[in-house]
């Protein structure tokens, strides 16, 4: 697992040996979700709307880095 970004209440992580479409995880103390790198769409899980907006504000401009990390960890 690689933590790509961390805020005070949540983080964005990419996991190795993961499956499905390339995605990252938004994780906090009471929530976890998977988000498609290409579209920013929540695939599974839940996340408060305000945190999703904050996470996407970081993730969308960094989608190439997220994809590169996904490919390095998942082949």
Which whole-number Å values give the CA distances from 11 to 4, 29, 58, 75, in the listed order? 8, 10, 11, 23
Q: pTM for this structure?
A: 0.94
Structural domain containing residue 51: 2-74
H helices of 1-62, in order, are 49-59
Q: What is the pLDDT of residues 9-68, one digit of tens each?
A: 999 999 999 999 999 999 999 999 999 999 999 999 999 999 999 999 999 999 999 999
Query: Which pLDDT value is given to residue 10?
Result: 98
Query: Which pLDDT value is given to residue 55?
Result: 98
For residue 35, the Cα-to-chain-centroid distance in whole angstroms is: 5
Query: Which pLDDT value is given to residue 47?
Result: 97
Give the chain's domain count: 1
Q: What is the pLDDT of residues 53-64, one digit of tens each?
A: 999 999 999 999
Query: Which pLDDT value is given to residue 75?
Result: 81
């Amino acid at each position: 697992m690689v933590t790509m970004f961390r805020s005070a209440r949540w983080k964005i992580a990419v996991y190795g040996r993961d499956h499905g479409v390339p995605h990252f995880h938004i994780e906090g103390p009471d929530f976890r979700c998977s988000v498609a790198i290409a579209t920013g769409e929540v695939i599974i899980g839940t996340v408060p709307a305000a945190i999703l907006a904050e996470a996407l504000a970081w993730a969308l401009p960094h989608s190439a880095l997220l994809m590169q990390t996904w490919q390095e960890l998942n082949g």
